[in-house]
């Protein structure tokens, strides 16, 4: 009953959370006849082979792209340009070249100049992830109901865009198309600024003199622990994101700082009404996110809670 796979050969360069999740989901959904994977470190390649979730693990990026119909770079944003340059001579004519980077303007700027007219460049960003990284962290359900944003440069063959859209839809994602610049603004507020703030506050807590780290951890259930999840994300990936999306992040940061000053002033002046008004408004946004299925409505994200010794009958 299964239709023919969308692609004959899919090459995954890089096998962290995203590469590993694509491999697992693509196999589960029969989206490729063959999945070839590679990774920079020999340890990761050995682990991928051991996991048995791709058809072939190869030693180099060049070996990976040979004869591939779809090549996806699943590596930090800063590595995309050099890898494109490395493999460009070995790409199959007609192949689709894509990535999964959280920044799109810089990726287009770094990759596009290397790519020949004989291939289709369709940058992509699946807006999904967890705080874990490495070849074991992926899972087939990661993209379900999440958005994947495609940012094809003007003039890209619509058939290539459509095939990549079908691939991501097959992985469970909802697909949207926008320009790289607009993508970078949207993600600056929905992802990059939240990460920067979380990294900051977790660092602040770690440095305090009057409150110990062990106290911070013990009493983290009051709110702090939610921030530590995203501040535990992959450091290399996030370093590259902030360097690559500098302008949009600095712009959002400016607005954030103004708003923080406003609330700080309200606290200093004891202006309860201003605080109450602000706190009431933010509740509505949460409701919207839950309503459109982008988060769980279960209290505490549905975190597991232990049972009491004597449960009521």
Residues 225-284 that bind a second copy (CB under 8 A): 225-233, 235-236, 238-240, 242-243, 246, 249-250, 252-253, 255-257, 259-260, 263-264, 267-268, 270, 272, 275-276, 278-283
According to the binding rule CB under 8 A, does residue 190 interact with a second copy?
yes
**Burial class (CB within 10 angstroms; exposed 0-12, middle 13-18, buried 19+) of 17:** buried
Residue 102 · residue 124 · CB < 8 Å: no
User: For residues 53-112, which are near a second copy according to CB under 8 A?
Assistant: 102
User: How big is the CA angle at 58 (ends 166 and 16), to the nearest 5 degrees?
Assistant: 60
Q: How far is the CB of 299 from a second copy (least distance, A)?
A: 3
Q: How far is the CB of 17 from a second copy (least distance, A)?
A: 9
- Eight-state DSSP code of residue 132: -
User: For residues 198-227, which are near a second copy according to CB under 8 A?
Assistant: 198-208, 210-211, 213-227
CB of 89 or CB of 208, closer to a second copy: 208
CB of 118 or CB of 297, closer to a second copy: 297
Per-residue x/- marks for a second copy, 292-311, CB under 8 A?
Answer: x-xxx-xxxxxxxxxxxxxx
What Rg value do the Cα atoms of the chain yield, rounded? 22
**Can you tell me the distance from the alpha carbon of 26 to that of 41, in angstroms, rounded to the nearest whole number?**
23
Q: With contacts defined by CB under 8 A, how many residues of the chain interact with a second copy? A: 127
Q: Which of 6, 64, 142, 175 binds a second copy (CB under 8 A)?
A: 142
CB of 112 or CB of 189, closer to a second copy: 189
**Can you tell me the distance from the alpha carbon of 38 to that of 89, in angstroms, rounded to the nearest whole number?**
18
**Can you tell me the distance from the alpha carbon of 138 to that of 132, in angstroms, rounded to the nearest whole number?**
8
Decide the pairing of beta strands 124-126 and 147-150: antiparallel
């Amino acid at each position: 009953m299964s239709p023919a796979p969308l692609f004959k050969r899919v090459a995954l360069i890089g096998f962290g959370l995203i590469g590993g999740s694509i491999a697992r989901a693509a196999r589960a959904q029969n989206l490729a006849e063959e999945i070839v994977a590679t990774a920079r470190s020999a340890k990761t390649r050995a682990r991928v082979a051991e996991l048995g979730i791709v058809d072939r693990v190869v030693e180099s990026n060049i070996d990976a792209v040979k004869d591939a119909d779809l090549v996806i770079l699943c590596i930090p944003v800063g590595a995309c340009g050099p890898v494109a340059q490395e493999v460009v001579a070995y790409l199959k004519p007609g192949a689709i070249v894509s990535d999964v980077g959280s920044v799109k303007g810089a990726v287009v700027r770094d990759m596009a100049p290397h790519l020949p007219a004989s291939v289709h460049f369709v940058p992509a960003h699946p807006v999904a992830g967890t705080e874990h990284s490495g070849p074991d962290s992926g899972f087939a359900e990661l993209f379900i109901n999440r958005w994947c944003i495609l940012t094809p440069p003007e003039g890209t063959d619509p058939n290539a865009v459509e095939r990549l859209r079908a691939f991501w839809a097959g992985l469970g994602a909802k697909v949207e198309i926008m320009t790289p610049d607009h993508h970078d603004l949207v993600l600056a507020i929905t992802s990059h600024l939240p990460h920067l703030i979380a990294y900051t506050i977790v660092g602040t807590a770690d440095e305090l003199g009057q409150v110990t780290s062990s106290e911070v951890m013990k009493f983290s259930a009051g709110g702090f622990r939610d921030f530590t999840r995203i501040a535990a994300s992959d450091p290399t990936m996030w370093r590259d994101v902030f360097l690559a999306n500098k302008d949009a992040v600095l712009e959002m940061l400016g607005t954030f700082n103004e708003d923080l000053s406003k609330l700080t002033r309200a606290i200093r002046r004891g202006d309860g009404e201003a605080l109450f008004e602000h706190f009431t408004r933010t509740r509505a946004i949460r409701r919207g996110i839950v309503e459109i299925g982008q988060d769980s409505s279960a209290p505490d994200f549905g975190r597991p809670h232990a049972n009491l010794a004597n449960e009521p009958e």
